[in-house]
Structures are given as structure tokens and as C-alpha cells.
Amino acid sequence: MSDDPKDVSTEDDHFDLESFDLPQLRKAVEDQDAQRVFELFDPLHPADIADILEQIGAEQRRALVHLYGTEFDGDILSELDENIRDEVVGYLRPEVLAEAVRDMDSDDVVDLLEDLDESQHDVILEALEEDERDAARQALSYPEYSAGRLMQREFVAVPEDWTVGQTIDLMRTADDLPDQFYHVFLVTPEHVPTGYVTLGRLLSSKRDTALADILEDSFRTFELDEEEGDVAYAFNQYHLISAPVVDADDRLVGVITIDDAMAVLDEEHEEDLLRMAGAGEGSLSDGVLETTWQRLPWLGVNLGTAIIASLVIAIFEATIETLVALAVLMPIIASMGGNAGTQSMAVAVRGLATRDLTGANVWRVIRRETFVGLLNGVIFAVVMGVVGYVWFGSMMLAGVIAAAMVINLVVAGLSGIGLPALLDRLGVDPALASGTFVTTVTDVVGFFAFLGLATMLLL
Amino acid sequence: MSDDPKDVSTEDDHFDLESFDLPQLRKAVEDQDAQRVFELFDPLHPADIADILEQIGAEQRRALVHLYGTEFDGDILSELDENIRDEVVGYLRPEVLAEAVRDMDSDDVVDLLEDLDESQHDVILEALEEDERDAARQALSYPEYSAGRLMQREFVAVPEDWTVGQTIDLMRTADDLPDQFYHVFLVTPEHVPTGYVTLGRLLSSKRDTALADILEDSFRTFELDEEEGDVAYAFNQYHLISAPVVDADDRLVGVITIDDAMAVLDEEHEEDLLRMAGAGEGSLSDGVLETTWQRLPWLGVNLGTAIIASLVIAIFEATIETLVALAVLMPIIASMGGNAGTQSMAVAVRGLATRDLTGANVWRVIRRETFVGLLNGVIFAVVMGVVGYVWFGSMMLAGVIAAAMVINLVVAGLSGIGLPALLDRLGVDPALASGTFVTTVTDVVGFFAFLGLATMLLL
């Protein structure tokens, strides 16, 4: 990566952000130089402009949006992080907002609306034409995170007995084709989708070919209230590019495209990663108070579980008083258990997210994790036994720490895979702070095994 | 979710796996009933058949693949996990393997080859036609995880001065169009791509329209040696559907489609999640020995860092001997620090992966995390101070644990964001066991602050 933005060749133009001259932009904002802002933003994709808006401070952002004025379009708004979007909508001039919203695809409008405060809905809805407004209201009536929210209403559908020629003629004369589409859907007279044809196949087939003869195998439909995570999984699993959404009567009402599914997949991953760490739904652009508040609940749970672990230690206070070396060594057992448990847990959370960990193989995986814990337990028991002997010169102490290591790593493997699997079975997101629970188990078991064995064998 | 597979309506057909009757399949394999296997697998997508093969044991898998015989096709092979694929290729009959490979897209063949042992390459390469073999060899000459490996060589390109009519006529007569394509690329006489047209736009435009007049804005090219992670990022960031890959002379040599980019994005997420937990590149289908081996290195590092934390405790052995309550309470400080640090780290790892955490905002985020640590530190200092006082009846002890809590949570915030950012700056994957390093810092600081303050104030 070059430090000098001028070194970056045009071939690197998909890394606009890394070569973007932020100091120049800051200066333009300070100088109230709208022309310079236009020049700097002109070559950028709306997604990159949105990223830049997220990365600067709130005051500069406001000044910048103001300077950018009517150039600020709906695509930038769509790409902004939820809380920044809320903020920007709050001070966008109504006519700019109205103009911005008018250009957006129906799914993007819904995406925008669902994240905004109720009070801001009206500003946006008023900006839309009547049928678009009804459509947006309709979409908002579907459950959050459902296929209904994700779909766009623009699609091309033709009767199932049509030929290639008829379809091409329709498209050539239609003036309201979607901006982006990849399939033509076949529907019954009741508007039930029965298959689809790719545009490539349509273009390369003879005019008199029946559409029914060139259908794709990959056809799948989704229902309006289906969870978006399930939709994203299906797109990834079955390599779908677009898929129809049907209502309760199986009628075609919209289409989901892979780029939206990809965005959902990405969000679900973010959720897994942050939840596993107990970090909530945090975003980099959240403020201090908001972030503190998001992190607080799981820190609270963690404090509770840490106190439980302390109570275990408290049972053995007398032992520690006699042999203070135990206090020195006990965090090692807890740390190794926590680490091994986290390893197993990450594999479990991932396996559950990709649906590779199922009832069919969960016992085999639990067995595997237990044996892995046993093997690594024995290996590190030997290492730690030697370290303990060299350090404290007691064969018995070395034996106790070695035994505790084996016990804790076996339990770590078991709970690392078992707890997420159990949460999943109970209908709870397995990523949801499995971390805290797994380390609690390994802490409690680790302290108990180590101090308990020490009490029995060393006193 | 219904427990009875027969309850599942046809509308749920994209969850084939959950409603699949695995016991029936196991029975069919035991009975050597090939007919029944065909019936059970017939409605399934190759991706689901692959998942089933991954979920059963190795012996059953072998028997099943044998029974399935010539029905076993290249799509199933493409969808299999790397190590299971290795295993299956090892015992597929050569003629079945050859047949399977012949149907595959060029990018899937490369994907298959790159994961296989050298010795198995020849079996596959021999099965290909000569030009496909050359193409596969060529692809394997590009760096691993590069755009060159990811692309397929099938695409449609036409001269940049062509009209819609010329393009449609070409496609209608061409007999080697790709299975799936979404854009027609415009190329110069030197075969340099200069833009693209969507098939939808092509279909809806008049025959005499110049292609140059209906180009899409989103056009971006990738170079052969570009990292696949960068490609996936660009697809997600810029909502690309397909994009051309060019060689060193800027000539069009292949095309990457969004479904491949989505798969890469998914793999990168898996990597982040597993690496953050120090679990390596593990897969659910790996065996005990392999898994033990993958987990061992970071457990080893963790043992080293845990011993460092123990050495800190050892400094204060005399203090603990005098006041054994310290040994009871010290894991609480370490645990809270570890948890808070992990929260910050998850946000940092995610922000770096999505490129939302950059030089432009890293200091602001570090400042935020420090303040969040301070605020949560104060909140939990009060809680733990009260608990400590009630438990041990010492105001001074309560004060010491409260002070240590604040110190450790501030350090947790700082190191949670700072360490991954530093690793990234050094060119190391920030997910790579940042976890171990962050908890080491919080352990060491936590023990030092708590026991150090206790030594100064309580003795």
C-alpha cells in the first residue's frame, strides 16, 4: 500500500477509501468549499461516501452533509450505518431527503424506514408517490427481518405458456423494467410462480422455444414471513441469484436478489462474532454512553458468574492459606480451560450457523471434542507438571496440577460444544454469550478440581 | 420445526436437510439398497447431499458413495468439505471421477484441484479435455486465494463499438455460452474490458442502440493476483454481480460472479471467528488427532502467557499468605477484564474486516473504548465494592477491589481495540489469536493492580 495517494494507479480504483485524501476533505469542510467537496466525492461510490461520513466526527459530518446539499442522494443514505443514518435524516433538508428517497428501490426505502424513528417516517412517506407509499406501508407490515422486508417489488413475470419470442417482445416494449434483474418468472393465471428462466438462456434460445422448456433447476420460493437468515442461508447453500417471494396464497409478490442475501449473511456473521464476545449489537460509530450500555448486561452476567467461581475458591481458603503456591498456579488451570473451551465453542457456533452441526452428528462431534480435550489435557499436563515441579520442587503439587489440567480440558471440550448445542436446542441463539457460560464452567471446574485435589493430596 | 418429516409441507423444500430421513438412509446403506438411496437423494440439491455425506461416519460414507456409483456427480464433489473431498476422491472409481469432473465449471475444477494432494491431480487432469486441462494448469499457476483462482473463464465479450442488435445476434448463434452469466463485457481490439451491459438492459433496448450508451456505472475490474478477500469485500461494498478479471496487460481473462464472492466472504468470516478463538482452520469433519494438532499451538501460547500472569501473582505471595481473601477475589478482576477486553476486541476485529476501522477513526474509537472501559469500570467498581464489603467486612479491601476494577476495565478497552489494530498495522491478521493476547494483558494488569494495591494499602 502506498502512502502517497497520487501513487495509486487507476487499476486500484476499487480501493477508493484507502487512497482517499481525508485531510483534503476535512480542509474543504473547514473552508466551506463545496466545489472541492464535489470534486473529492465525484469519483466515489455512494458506499464509500457513506463510509467516510461514518468515519469523521459528528460535527464535521453535519457540516459536510450541509455543504454537499442536493448532491446527497438516496444511495448514500441506504449505505449509512443505522444510527448515523438516523442522525443525518434528522438534519437533511426536507426537499433533499424527498429527492433522495424518490430514487431508491422499494427494498431500500423499506430498509431506510424500518431503522428510522416513527417521527421521521412521515417525512419520507410523504416524499413518495402514492403507490410507492402504499407499497412501503405494506412492506412495513411484514415482520422485521423477514423475506417480506428484504424483497423488492420490481420483477418481470409472464404467463407460463409463453414463448421466448413473446417474452422478449414484452420486455422490449415495457417501460417499467427493474433496474437490475436476472430472471423472468413464470406464473399461473392465479399469479403463482412455477419456475424461472435466466436472461442468458432467453437471449440464446430460438423465438419459438417454450419458456417451460428452458427452466432452471435452481428455482425455489420463499414465503413472506420467512426469516431473512434462512433466506441468506438458502442463497449461499444453493447458489441462488434471485428467488421469488410468495404470499399466503402462493402468489408472487416480490423478488429477493443475491446482493441483499449477501448483506444479510454479512450482518448475521457480525451478530455471531459480537454476541459470542458479549458485545451486543455495537457499531463503530456508536457513542460512549450507547456503547457502555450495550456492554453492561453481559459484564453484569459475567460478574455474577465470576463471583460463583470465587465462592468455589473460598471453600478452599484454608488450603490456600497453608500452601500459597496454589493461589499462584490456579489461574493457569482456569486460563487453559477457558481457552480450550472457547476453541470448541467457536467451532460449535460456526457449525450451528452453517447448519453443519445437526442432530445427525452432534454426538460424534461431542465425542471428538472430549477426546481432543483429553489429548491436549495430557500433553499440557505433562508440560505443566514439569514446570510446576521445577518451580515449586514438589512432585505431589506437580501431580495435582497435571490432574487438574486433564480434568479441566476434558470439561472444556464438552461444555464448549455442549452449551451452544443446548442453547440452540432451546431456541436461543447459541452465539449469545456462550462465551461467558463456557468460561464460567471451566473456571468453576478448574478451581474445584485443582484446589479439591490439593486439599485431599497435599495437606 | 416439526419432528415428523412427513409433516413438512412442500413449501419448506429449501430446508431439505432438516426434514431428511437420515435413519432411512442409514438403513438403505446397511441393506446395500442402491435403489432406495437413489430415491432418497433424488429430490436433494447436490449441496445437501454433500452435507449429508459430511455428517455421517467415514465407513458409512464410503459404503454410500459406492452404492451411489455413477450418480455421484461433480456438483456434489464441489460442495464437499476439503478433507472429506480428499477422502472421497481417494476411493471414487476413476471412471466416476472422470465423468464427475467433466461436467464442472472451470472455477470449480480449479477449486477441486487446489485442495487435493498432488498425486490425485493427475487422475483429474487426465479426465479433462486438452484445452480444459491447459486452462486448469494455467489457473493453478496463479497464487492461492487470488482472483485468478476464483474466476471462471467462461464469459461473453464483444467489441466496444457494437450495437444491441449485433450482440443479440451473436448470442443467438453462439453455441458455447456460459451456463450462468449476467453481463456482456465490452472489449477493445486488444481485449481490454472497458465496460459492461446487463442482460436486462440489452433485452429492453432497441436493436440499433450502441452498447456504449447503456453501460452500467458499477463496472470494476480485478487483477489476476488480487486477494480473494479484497474481491469479496468489493462485491459486498459495491453490490457487484459479476466483474472481469484482467492480466498484467489489462486483457480480459475471466469473470468472477457474486456467488463465488459470497462463498469467499463466508469463508473469511469463518476464519475470523475461529482464529479469534485460537481454533485454527478446524472443520467439524476433522478427526481427533487433526483437531488436537490444530488447537495445540494456541493452547501452548496461552500456557506461556498464563505462566506470566502467575509470575505476577508470585510476586505477591507474601501478601496473599497474610490475606487469603485476595486469592478468592483476584479471579473476579481478571475475569471482568478478560470479558471487557474481548468485547472491545470483537468490535475491532469486525471493524478491521469490514474496513470500517481505519486510520481516520482509529484514535476516536480507541478514545471511545477507553471511556467505555472507564464508565463500566466505575459501575462495576461500585457493585463489586459493595459485594466485597458485605462479604469480607473490610472497607479498605472493598476500595482496593473497586480501584483494581476501574484500572483493569480501562486497560481492557485500550488493549481490546489497540492490539488488533496494531497487529493489522504490522500486516498480521488481527483475528489471529488477538484473544490470547488481550486476556494476557488484562490478567497481568488485573493481578498486578489488585495485589499491588492490596500490598500497599492493606498490609
Minimum CA–CA partner of A292 in chain B: B372
Residue range B355-373, pLDDT digits in tens? 889 888 899 999 999 999 9
Which residues in B415-432 are b (16+ Cβ under 10 Å) and which e? bbbbbbbebbeeeebbbb
* Contact yes or no for B328 and A347 at CB 8 A: no
Residue A378 near chain B (CB below 8 Å): no
Instruction: Give the distance from residue A223's alpha carbon to the nearest chain B alpha carbon, in angstroms.
Output: 8
E runs forming strands in A258-357? none
Q: Which helix (H) or strand (E) holds B287?
A: none
Minimum CA–CA partner of B350 in chain A: A270
* Contact yes or no for A339 and B307 at CB 8 A: no
Residue A363 near chain B (CB below 8 Å): no
Chosen for mutation from A292, A352, A382, A437 (greatest number of chain B CBs closer than 10 Å) is A292
Could you please report the per-residue DSSP string of A140-168?
A: HTSPTTBHHHH-BS---EEETT-BHHHHH
One digit per residue, pLDDT tens: chain A, 459 residues?
Answer: 333 333 333 334 444 566 788 889 999 999 999 999 999 998 888 999 999 998 888 889 999 999 888 888 888 988 888 888 888 888 888 778 888 888 777 778 888 887 777 777 777 888 788 888 888 888 888 998 999 999 988 899 999 999 999 999 998 888 788 878 899 999 999 999 999 999 999 988 889 999 999 999 889 999 999 999 999 999 999 999 999 999 999 999 999 999 999 999 999 999 888 988 888 887 888 889 999 999 999 999 999 999 999 999 999 999 999 999 999 999 999 999 999 999 999 999 999 988 889 888 899 999 999 999 999 999 999 999 999 999 999 999 999 999 999 999 999 999 999 999 999 999 888 888 678 889 999 999 999 999 999 999 988
Which distant-in-sequence residues (6+ apart) come within 8 Å of A150 by Cβ?
Answer: A107, A228, A231, A256, A260, A261, A264
Cβ–Cβ under 8 Å, residues B79 and B44: no
Domains in chain A with CATH codes: 5-141 (1.25.60.10), 157-276 (3.10.580.10), 288-458 (1.10.357.20)
Instruction: Give the distance from residue B86's alpha carbon to the nearest chain A alpha carbon, in angstroms.
Output: 18
Q: Is A253 helix (H, G, I), strand (E, B) or coil?
A: strand
Dmax over CA atoms of chain B, in Å, equals 93
Residue B1 reports pLDDT greater than 50: no
Work out the mean pLDDT of chain B and round it to a whole number: 88
Calpha distance B54→A354 (Å, rounded): 13
pLDDT band at B17 (very low <50, low <70, confident <90, very high): low
Interface A–B counts its CB contacts (< 8 A) at: 366
Calpha distance B135→B358 (Å, rounded): 39
Residue range B306-356, pLDDT digits in tens? 999 999 999 999 999 999 999 999 999 999 999 999 999 999 999 998 888
ipTM: 0.87
Residue A394 near chain B (CB below 8 Å): no
pLDDT of residue B249: 96
Residue B425 near chain A (CB below 8 Å): no
pTM score: 0.87
Residue A315 near chain B (CB below 8 Å): no
Residue A234 near chain B (CB below 8 Å): yes
Cβ–Cβ under 8 Å, residues B197 and B258: no
pLDDT band at B204 (very low <50, low <70, confident <90, very high): confident
Which residue do the cell numbers 489497540 mark?
B418
Could you please report the per-residue DSSP string of B126-176?
A: HHS-HHHHHHHHHHHTSPTTBHHHH-BS---EEETT-BHHHHHHHHHH-S-
Chain A residues in contact with B262 by the CB 8 A cut-off are 235-236, 258, 261-262, 265
**Alpha-carbon dihedral sign for residues B440, B442, B447, B449:** positive
